[in-house]
Amino acid sequence: MSGISWLVRSQPGHGVSAVRLMAGLVMGLAAVVGGCADHRVSLAEFLALQQEASAPEPAVEPATEAEMVALLERALGRHKVGPSDVLEVTLTVSADAGLMPPVQARVDRNGEISLPVVGAVKVADMELEDVEDAVHQAYVPRVFKEASVFVNLVSADTTEVLVVGAVTEPGLVPLHRNQRNMLFAIVLAGGVSELASGDATLRRTRHPGEAVSFDLMDPEGIRSALALEPLEDGDVITVEAATPNTVFVGGLVNAARPQIYPQGVEMTVLQAIAAAGGLRTDVTPREATLIRRMSDGQDVHVKLDLDRMTTGKDPNLALAAGDILWVPDTVETRVQDWINRNIFVRAGVSVNYSVSGIEFMNRQDQQAGYRAGGLEDQYDPYGFLGRGTSLQSLVARPAPVP
């Protein structure tokens, strides 16, 4: 006697005929079987796409040692005097020459300072020591036979740039003439925060359509950033934040939710499903869909065979930050769900299935007195409730509550 006919004949008081039940079954199956075409790519096609996307870029010829020294000297060297800087010049001469008080002078647009007696002295693009030599030559021996010169930078002209994004102290940052590069700007903004990815983008105010990005965690990225022309007032630097290491797991799992992991932690498909409480056991999910946004901004939908993956026939794919892992309904799971909701309940089974029927089937202590009578064979004729538990076993199940 089949399971369906047994259910019908065992419940004569409900007036459900075999013909009506079978008609309902056919109609229910017809409702759940219908679907649309599958537009997902296969795992093999996705792996090929991944390999193509990760193809190495053309190698960039590394800078020579002399080039790197020149870049570092220009970008990170000592302050060089320029227009709008204010210098304080102190001359120490012989005692009979009298007291020479310090003189403050501003560097003009021509790169010169005006000093008493000697007039204009060219100081543009000089370090302070070189300025002292230039002033000494202007006074000795023309004015004094001997003199010592000390030059101090009172105030320096600054360039203000805007630093935003994943930095500790975003905002306007003033830069001295020898600091007008991305490295100094980010450091003076408090440095990168824990959310930073290492990528930074420069947008020039005077050329709004031009934007350049650099990986400041890579030596070649640093070299390229230092090779840029000096920053100008109003330039904007954006320190990009890293993509949150979150994967989204949903569908036919027991605990659908976003899963957040520390940066650098890599999760696989089976690990993510296990962390979601495993697959549901009232139906038999056999496939999953991975949705990944590629570097070109397009979403790729990948069909995954969970049976092959759990048995090691397919690779246990590593997930990336932002991935969506969905365990969808299929024809099989829809049929199973329809039978669970319509056959067992409407045929009048006395077990309180809508609340604890599945739990009843899975609790060993409650089944102990019923195995001799074949309870599972009677109430679960197709064996749906006891299947598909291989992934569920990856997660420790809580002890039954008495």
Note the pLDDT tens digit of each residue in 105-119: 999 999 999 999 899
- List the structure tokens of 250: 């949903």
What integer pLDDT is reported at residue 370 of this predicted model? Answer: 43
- Report d(CA 150, CA 141) in Å as an integer: 17
Helix (H, G, I), strand (E, B) or coil at 290: strand
Q: Are 122 and 134 in contact (CB under 8 A)?
A: yes
Name the residue with tokens 């039940």: 21
Q: What is the pLDDT of residues 281-305, one digit of tens each?
A: 999 999 999 999 987 888 999 999 9
What integer pLDDT is reported at residue 206 of this predicted model? Answer: 82
Length of the chain: 402
Which stretches in the chain have pLDDT values below 70? 1-36, 53-77, 95-99, 344-402
What integer pLDDT is reported at residue 197 of this predicted model? Answer: 84
What integer pLDDT is reported at residue 162 of this predicted model? Answer: 94
> What's the whole-model pTM score?
0.53
- Report d(CA 118, CA 380) in Å as an integer: 108
- Report d(CA 85, CA 89) in Å as an integer: 13
What integer pLDDT is reported at residue 66 of this predicted model? Answer: 64
What integer pLDDT is reported at residue 113 of this predicted model? Answer: 93
* Domains, in order of start, for the chain: 43-55+245-331 (3.10.560.10), 80-155 (3.30.1950.10), 158-241 (3.10.560.10)
- Distance linking the first and last C-alpha atoms of the chain: 37
Name the residue with tokens 């979150």: 246
- Report d(CA 86, CA 284) in Å as an integer: 79
What integer pLDDT is reported at residue 323 of this predicted model? Answer: 93
Burial of 261 (0-12, 13-18, 19+ CB in 10 A): middle
What integer pLDDT is reported at residue 290 of this predicted model? Answer: 95
Q: Minimal CA–CA distance to 4: which of 332, 284, 378, 374? A: 378
The string over 282-292, giving b where at least 16 C-beta atoms fall within 10 Å of a residue's C-beta and e elsewhere, is bbbbbbbbbeb
